[in-house]
Amino acid sequence: MSKVRILILRVPGTNCDAETAFAFQQAGAITSIVHIGELIRRERRLSDYQIMVIPGGFTYGDDIAAGKVLANELRLKLGENIQRFVDDGGLILGICNGFQVLVKAGLLPGKTNGNSPSLTLTANDSGKFECRWVHLSVNGQSPCIFTKGINSMYLPVAHGEGKVIVALEALPYLNIVLYYADEHGGREADYPHNPNGSVANIAGICDASGRVFALMPHPERHIWHTQHPQWTRQRAKEYGDGFQIFVNAVKWVQSS
């Protein structure tokens, strides 16, 4: 069986590319960290890969707004290539800054039942950068292929503009994948469980196909159990809560 090939996009300000590459390598894939200029100049082809990842960071210093400059580059310079990649069955994962980019590039939330909910991300309600571990509840009814078989996770967040805003009447048309929760799985928990004030405690969404997925927490920062802040007090296990996201993506490509 041929190896799954992952393209991890890098631009000035990206800072989680190496960790994301390592996570996919541990899941059995071949990774390439590719500068956006290589795609624009056609030195690399998106069609040579099965998964594209926009990792965390502060792309272009988050000038204008978080992820906005990179989103414009993707939309204006690579939009047709990316749409063809999705239409041909490719997977896209956006983590933290990648979530902001995918939304502002128009790749998420996508259309559901003919509707395209208006959604954006803005500054945290706390007015400050939030760096903490959060409990997450997974929507088992979501079509997302990245979270199949996962019920809950405990992952770190690190962002200043992570608040999801969406009109309440649009919520039924949104493919919500992850919710910020309390330690018992309650999805109506307030700050600090919901670190940014997201509407309906939304922490991650996907498109109707389940192949384009974005989340604010960082799964690549919890692929080993020893990365858990209380790992010495817990039952020993090998992998962290975020690892299955990468495994699911690789296995889906291998089986498709």
CB 46 within 8 A of CB 74: no
For residue 194, give the amino acid letter. Answer: N
Active site residue 43: no
Active site residue 16: no
Instruction: Scan for tokens 């990842």, then name that residue.
Output: 53
Name which of 209, 251, 218, 177 is nearest 85 in CA terms.
Answer: 209
- The edge-to-edge listing of strands for the beta sheet with 130-138 is 30-35, 5-10, 51-54, 91-95, 212-215, 202-206, 176-181, 130-138, 152-159
Name residue 14's beta-bridge partners.
57
73, 130, 161, 220: the catalytic one is 220
Query: What separation in angstroms does the CA of 69 have from each of 104, 160, 184, 188, 204?
Result: 9, 17, 38, 33, 21
- C-alpha span between 66 and 101 (Å, rounded): 8
96, 144, 161, 206: the catalytic one is 96
- C-alpha span between 24 and 95 (Å, rounded): 13
- C-alpha span between 116 and 86 (Å, rounded): 17
135, 159, 193, 218: the catalytic one is 218
Helices 97-104 and 68-77 cross at an angle (nearest 10°) of 50
Q: Strand 91-95 relative to strand 51-54: parallel, antiparallel, unpaired?
A: parallel
Active site residue 169: no
Q: What are the residue numbers of the active site? A: 96, 218, 220
